[in-house]
Amino acid sequence: EKQNAMQDMLTHICDEHDIVIQSLQIMPDHIHMLISFNPKHAASNIVKTLKGKSARLWFKAYPETKAMLWGGHLWTPSYFMSTVGSMSKETVKKYIENQLTEYNNGRPRT
């Protein structure tokens, strides 16, 4: 349920800001997204928008989760971003879509 809610929230935010989700995978403790957006927007501002708005929507829908999180924050301030250039977009999409198969009940396979 909460996984679907987060997906819906991110989709809504992206729709509002003309961000196209190419691929999205909600993991137990992080999210993988392949997105495209107008290059006039700074990538760091896109991340700030996604994290900030999704946190506000999340805590409005699930206020009880704020007390469960360290410091009451949904997201850490860090993120990883890369451009798709050295590999095809399809390769990146496949990687993202296969992430859940790399996990066993939320834990990396050993």
Rounded (10°) angle between helices 2-16 and 43-61: 130
Higher pLDDT, 7 or 29: 7
What is the predicted pLDDT for the residue at 109?
47
What is the predicted pLDDT for the residue at 49?
97
**Which tokens in the block code for residue 104?**
């066993």
**Which tokens in the block code for residue 48?**
């700030």
What is the predicted pLDDT for the residue at 75?
93
- Given its phi and psi angles, is residue 106 left (phi above 0), alpha (psi -120 to 50 degrees) or beta? left
Q: Of residues 62, 79, 95, 103, which has the active-site annotation? A: 95
What is the predicted pLDDT for the residue at 6?
96
What is the predicted pLDDT for the residue at 101?
67
Domains of the chain: 2-108 (3.30.70.1290)
Annotated catalytic residue 95: yes
**Which tokens in the block code for residue 53?**
């708005």
pLDDT one-digit tens code per residue, 63-110: 999 999 888 899 989 988 888 777 788 888 888 887 766 554 455 544
pLDDT one-digit tens code per residue, 23-70: 999 988 889 999 999 999 999 999 999 999 999 999 999 999 999 988
Higher pLDDT, 100 or 15: 15
